[in-house]
Amino acid sequence: MRKVKILVSGRVQGVYFRLFTQNKAKHFAIKGSAKNLPDGRVEIIAEAEKLAIEKFIKWCHKGPITARVDHVEITELQHDELLTSFDIT
């Protein structure tokens, strides 16, 4: 298992980025969350098998057609608690 924090910047708020992210996370069986940050970025917490996380991160660099992704920052997190769903907060 791998757990990461993904910070996505660009035109990612007001374009259904979090909803598309939730749908893609469900497709890859990823647990976690997505939320808007006050600075205009979206923060994603994602936990899954390594290959699924890699595919998800690749998608995050592109995002949905409604968005424009300028930068993606990945931070590895401790796998301390098992997440059970993917939520939009």
Told to judge if 18 belongs to the known catalytic residues of this protein, a careful annotator would answer yes
Of residues 2, 36, 41, 68, which has the active-site annotation?
A: 36
Helix (H) or strand (E) holding 25: helix 17-27
| Active-site residue, selected from the candidate residues 2, 11, 18, 41 | 18
Catalytic residue flag (residue 68): no
Residue closest to 1 by CA, chosen among 54, 43, 63: 54
11, 68 in Cβ contact below 8 A? yes
Residues forming the active site? 18, 36
